[in-house]
Amino acid sequence: MKVVILAGGFGTRISEESEFRPKPMINIGNMPILWHIMKGYSFWGYNEFVICAGYRQEVIKKWFSDYFLHTSDVTFDFTQGDRVIVHNRHAEPWKVSVIDTGLNTMTGGRVLRIRDYVGDEPFMLTYGDAVSNVSLPELLAFHRQHGKAVTLTTVSLAQQKGVLDLAPDGTIRSFREKSRADGSVINGGFMVCNSKLFDYLENDSTVLERKPMEQLAADGELMGYFHGDFWQCMDTKREKDLLEHLWASGKAPWKVWP
C-alpha cells in the first residue's frame, strides 16, 4: 500500500524556518520531519511513498538524490576522476516518488494530481508536518472493517484543526473547518483512503479539509479512528522547539523504530 504525503504548502506560520525550504524539510534533530514521518510508516512495513511537492519542491528532490551523503561516510577521491566512495552504505527500503503538484495547488488538488500514481488501490494519506505513534496496522484494520471511503485519525487536543462530530461507532457525522473556540476531537491526518475519495475532488482549487470532507461526512463515507496517545503537528516555531526537545531527550514518543 502506497503512502501519500502532502508536502507542498508554503508553511507561512513557521516562515522563519520555511523561507528557503518546504516545511516538511525542516529538521528535527539532524533529519527533516518528513524523514521522521516516513520512518514511522516504514516501521510498520509501508515503504512506497508518493510525496505531493510544490513550494521549493527541488529541495525535497535534491535531499533524496543525496540521501547517501546524509546517512553515510563518503570519500571524494579527486585523484581517480572525481570518484565518490560511500562507506558503511545505509539505505532505507523505500521507493519514493516526488511529484510536483503545483505551487499554489490546494490539498485536495494535490491528492487529485497524484491519482495515476496510486490507481484504484487504497492508500495511506497524511500531512508532512505531524508525527505520531499511531498503530498503522490497527488503523488499517479499522478502515477495512467499516468499508467506507476514508478513515482519518482523530486526536483530542485543543488545537485549531478540522473539527469532527463523532458517533459512538466512529462514524463522523459532520466535518467543519477549525475555529479558535474549538477544543474538540480533531483531524490528526494519518488517513486511509479508498479510490472513491477522488470522486469528491474537483480541481487544483479543492481544499481537502472543506467541501470533500464535509460531503464525505454528509454521505456517511468518513470514519474516525481515535488515537489517544502521542500526536503533534509542527505549525509554529514553538511546536518545532517542542519536537526538538523531545528528540534531544532520547524519549521522542513518535520514534517507534529501533
Q: What percent of the chain has pLDDT over 90?
A: 72
Q: What is the mean pLDDT of the chain?
A: 90
Q: Give residue-wise pLDDT tens across range 186-231.
A: 899 999 999 999 999 999 999 999 999 999 999 999 999 999 999 9
Q: Nearest CA to 190 among 163, 226, 158, 220? A: 226
Which pLDDT score, from 0 to 100, does residue 256 have? 97
Task: Tell whether 257 is covered by a domain.
Answer: no
Residue 160 confidence (pLDDT):
46
**Any domain includes 104:** yes
Residue 226 lies in a domain: yes
Place of cell 487544483: 204
| 85 is a domain residue | yes
Domain CATH code at residue 63: 3.90.550.10
Helices (H), the chain: 15-18, 33-43, 57-65, 67-71, 107-113, 115-118, 136-146, 211-218, 237-248
Closest to 123 in 3D by CA, of 209, 196, 222: 196
Sign of the CA dihedral with 149 first, then 158, 234, and 90 last: negative
Distance CA 18, CA 14 (A): 6
Question: For residue 176, what pLDDT is reported?
Answer: 64
Q: What pLDDT shows up at residue 179?
A: 52
What is the pTM (predicted TM-score) of this model? 0.88
Through-space distance between the first and last CA atoms of the chain, rounded to whole angstroms: 22
Instruction: Specify if 232 maps to a domain.
Output: yes
Range of the domain at 122: 3-248
Of residues 172 and 77, more confidence is placed in 77
* pLDDT one-digit tens code per residue, 48-71: 999 999 999 999 999 999 888 778
CB 92 within 8 A of CB 36: no
Question: Residue 91: what pLDDT?
Answer: 77
Asked if residue 55 is part of any domain, the answer here is yes
Task: Identify which has the larger pLDDT, 112 or 185.
Answer: 112
Spatial distance between the Cα atoms of 3 and 200, rounded to a whole number of angstroms: 19
Is the dihedral angle over the CA atoms 248, 252, 255, 258 positive or is it negative? positive
List, in sequence order, every residue forming a beta bridge with 3; answer none if it has no partner: 49, 124
Is the confidence at residue 16, as pLDDT, over 70? no
Say whether pLDDT at 112 is over 90: yes
How confident is the model over 147-191, as pLDDT tens digits? 999 999 999 865 445 556 667 787 877 776 555 444 568 899 999
Confirm whether 187 is domain-assigned.
Answer: yes
Per-residue pLDDT, averaged over 111-128, amounts to 98
- Whether 253 is in a domain gets the answer no
Element (H, E) at 223: strand 222-226
Statement: residue 19 has pLDDT above 80: no
| Domain count along the chain | 1
Per-residue pLDDT at 118 exceeds 50: yes
Q: What one-letter code names the amino acid at 35?
A: W
Q: How sure is the predictor about 90, in pLDDT bands with cuts at 50, 70 and 90?
A: confident
- Please give the Cα distance from 256 to 41 (Å, whole number): 10
User: How many residues are present in the chain?
Assistant: 258
